[in-house]
Amino acid sequence: MDEVDRELLRLTQDGIGIEERPFLHAARRLRISEEEVVGRLRRLGEIGVVRRFGTRINPRKAEMVANAMVVWNVPENRIAEIGAAMAESPDVTHCYERRTIPGQWKYNLYTVLHCRDREDAHRRVAALSRATGAAEYRVLFSTEEFKQRPSGRIGPAAGPGRER
């Protein structure tokens, strides 16, 4: 890693713009080509300095205000199959398995969907149920949005528009 790599990491660590040429700003600041920016990021990924390059969408700004966690009671012998199918769905943003608590909590597969409204969420969940054969579930809607702070502390999201 050289000084250009370190500066490139600094320029991109907080994200890049959603635009036709997202690496143009970094290229201009570093006085290198966009192709070199992409090549350097690719190399940094190959050597393990950059683990992933992802997109984080603010569901509320995208008018997705019905955040639903769906808990599913799936037969143990079908968790991998059904979990994989749900994880492939474009509607599902998170999918994971959790242990049950005998006699208290029977749900062992969890999915998260961000939808326009609760009716939309219920339609999408019903479609997931039909597609996977997972018939027993509960839809839990968020009541308040919390924001992850850089220090790792969690607190209420700022501003109006929090769903209660």
CA–CA distance, 92 with 88 (Å, rounded to integer): 8
Q: Give me the tens of pLDDT residue by residue for the chain, a chain 164 residues long.
A: 999 999 999 998 877 877 889 999 999 999 999 999 999 999 999 999 988 776 666 666 656 678 899 999 999 999 999 999 999 999 998 999 999 999 999 999 999 998 889 999 999 999 999 999 999 999 999 877 666 555 444 445 444 443 33
User: In this predicted structure, what is the pLDDT of residue 59?
Assistant: 62
pTM for this predicted structure: 0.59
Q: Tell me 49's DSSP state.
A: S
Sequence ranges of the domains in the chain? 3-46, 66-148
pLDDT at 78 (0 to 100): 96
118 in Cβ contact with 66 (< 8 Å): yes
Contact 121, 111 (CB under 8 A): no
Predicted confidence at residue 14, as pLDDT, reads 79
**What is the Cβ-side half-sphere exposure of residue 104, based on CA atoms within 13 angstroms?**
3
- For residue 16, the model assigns a pLDDT of 82
Round to whole Å and give the CA distance between 40 and 23.
11
What is residue 57's predicted lDDT score, i.e. its pLDDT? 63
pLDDT on residue 143: 79
- Domain 66-148 = CATH 3.30.70.3460: yes
Angle at 137 between CA 77 and CA 104, to 5 degrees: 80
